[in-house]
Amino acid sequence: MTPLYDFRGVHVRLGPAGQVHALRGIDLRVQPGERVALVGSNGSGKSTLLRTLMGLLPVGGVLHRAPGVRAALVFQRPYLMRSSALHNVAIALWLQGQRWAQARVLALQALERVGLAAYAGRNGRTLSGGQQQRLALARAWAQHPNVWLLDEPTASLDPQARLEVEALIRTFAAPGASPAQEGGGTLIFSSHQLGQVRRLASRVVYLEAGRILADLPVDDFFDPDVLARHSPQARAFVLGETP
Ligand SMILES: Nc1ncnc2c1ncn2[C@@H]1O[C@H](COP(=O)(O)OP(=O)(O)OP(=O)(O)O)[C@@H](O)[C@H]1O
């Protein structure tokens, strides 16, 4: 199978003078249908890797992206305009060339999809954190991505809202969830919640200081003996994080 992403020795430098070496030689292949969790401590490079996958940063190294990739990136605190939930979705579609009337119809469908139809007229910025995250997911879903790049999608949500958003993410990433997905959606997300990683991921990539130190199927990642053989640092991270 042709990978969606094939990164070899990818480097990213950030800051005005490129003084922050945020990614240091990333080798990563992602196949269609995978559900990849990016884990690691603050500043390890997870967000930078997601932005690199989205094509938002200048990079060094070899970076192949399959021609059919339609990626959507959703941030932890999504940017919402000070206008209705419906407008927040419709404008994104209009900017992509949809006629306004059609954009509004599709936006309403997307809000229905995430359970926010009743809030279509509400100012997006006055919605709760969980509702705002669902609105951001609706805006992305309306554009029919086949790759979901999610940066700590439930970081600031209470347990109930977190589970609701997780359920949505699961259905979005499922095979055939959108017309653009064909074989199945692909999910790449960062998270500090290891329970969520277990629930959503099929594979876990552990980053430290801009490097990948472990890249394992989820069951192996959470097996202390297997993980210790691959990366003592990753094992220490998991033990430190487990309540
Ligand atoms: N715009 C920027 N300019 C300079 N340095 C940056 C910029 N954005 C991030 N960095 C630095 O790049 C490194 C990687 O940051 P990144 O946000 O990718 O980490 P992260 O793993 O997502 O962290 P967190 O878990 O806190 O979200 C850090 O040292 C960070 O301080």
Cβ atoms within 10 Å of 86's Cβ, excluding its own: 23
| Prediction pTM value | 0.92
| Closest Cα to atom 31 of ligand 1 | 43
What is the distance between the alpha carbons of residues 72 and 79, in angstroms, rounded to a whole number?
Answer: 14
Q: Give kind and range of the element (H or E) at residue 154.
A: none
Pocket test for ligand 1, best of 13, 19, 46 (most atoms within 8 A of CB): 46
Cβ atoms within 10 Å of 127's Cβ, excluding its own: 18
Q: Which domains does the chain have, with CATH numbers?
A: 5-80+127-239 (3.40.50.300)
Q: What is the pLDDT of residue 187?
A: 95
Ligand 1 midpoint to CA 130 (Å): 24
Say what the ipTM of the complex is: 0.97
What is the distance between the alpha carbons of residues 10 and 49, in angstroms, rounded to a whole number?
Answer: 10
Q: What is the mean pLDDT of residues 190-215?
A: 96
What is the distance between the alpha carbons of residues 36 and 31, in angstroms, rounded to a whole number?
Answer: 10
Ligand 1 midpoint to CA 228 (Å): 26
Ligand 1 midpoint to CA 112 (Å): 35
pLDDT tens track for 86-117 = 999 999 999 989 999 999 999 999 999 889 99
| Closest Cα to atom 4 of ligand 1 | 15
What is the distance between the alpha carbons of residues 234 and 81, in angstroms, rounded to a whole number?
Answer: 39
Q: Tokens 């959503």: give the residue.
A: 200
Exposure on the CB side of residue 71, measured as CA atoms within 13 A: 22
**Residue 48 Cα: closest atom of ligand 1:** 18
Ligand 1 midpoint to CA 209 (Å): 10
Pocket test for ligand 1, best of 10, 38, 42, 51 (most atoms within 8 A of CB): 42
As for ligand 1, residues whose beta carbon falls within 6 Å of it are 14-15, 20, 22, 40, 42-48
20-30 vs 5-14, strand pairing mode: antiparallel
Q: What is the mean pLDDT of residues 61-84?
A: 91
User: Residue 23 pairs with which residues in a beta bridge?
Assistant: 12
pLDDT tens track for 100-159 = 999 999 999 999 988 999 999 999 999 988 899 999 999 999 988 999 999 999 987 888
